[in-house]
Amino acid sequence: MIKLIVLDVDGCLTDGKITYTNDANEGKSFNIKDGLGISTWVKIGNQVAIITGRNSKIVERRAKELGVEHLFQGIKDKDRVLKELISSLHLSLEEVAAIGDDLNDFHMLNLVGKSFTPRNGSKEIKTIVDVVLSKNGGDGAVREMIDFLVDENGQREEFMAVWI
């Protein structure tokens, strides 16, 4: 049973585009269905971590909105951070699923019990993951992953009960 999902941001929670304004502010767009899936995953007693290579106040804000307790930004060695997190939560790698879209996610995706990439993930990542999703990053790929895991965990009734 998957108890923790690990999310990459750019290319998974977003479409991978970064928009800079003239005053050097950064913009990102998040899919609301991903957000509902993440917050519901948390409400039914599961955990979420974001491990991302970049630093962004926007990601910090989004994580807080969704109830994501474990946020790691500016991470170059994602698999090391993942191993430390799993140890601190007393989980096994088999209880963890992750989504990533490019080479900096390669080692992390090879560690976990179930690995995913969006439809537009890099070709190298597509060859190593368990599931290539039908949705692109930023277009509901994370929600598709969560729906897959909710069904695989046998938690669909619990998931629906949060809203019905």
Quote the CA–CA distance of 69 and 64 in Å, as a whole number.
8
Length of the chain: 164
pLDDT in tens, 43-96: 999 999 999 999 999 999 999 999 999 999 999 999 999 999 999 999 999 999
Single-letter residue type at 119: R
Identify which of 101, 98, 89 has the alpha carbon closest to the alpha carbon of residue 148. Answer: 98
Q: What CATH superfamily is the domain 4-156?
A: HAD superfamily/HAD-like (3.40.50.1000)
Quote the CA–CA distance of 109 and 115 in Å, as a whole number.
6
Apex 139 CA angle, 110 and 154, nearest 5: 60
pLDDT for the residue 27:
85
Cβ-contact 26, 20 below 8 angstroms = yes
Single-letter residue type at 121: G
Which residues face 117 on adjacent strands? 132
pLDDT in tens, 3-55: 999 999 999 999 998 888 888 788 889 999 999 999 999 999 999 999 999 99
Identify which of 2, 108, 95, 111 has the alpha carbon closest to the alpha carbon of residue 52. Answer: 108
pLDDT for the residue 24:
77
Please state the domain extents for the chain: 4-156
Cβ-contact 39, 146 below 8 angstroms = no
Do the bridges between strand 96-99 and strand 4-7 make them parallel or antiparallel, or are there none, so unpaired? parallel
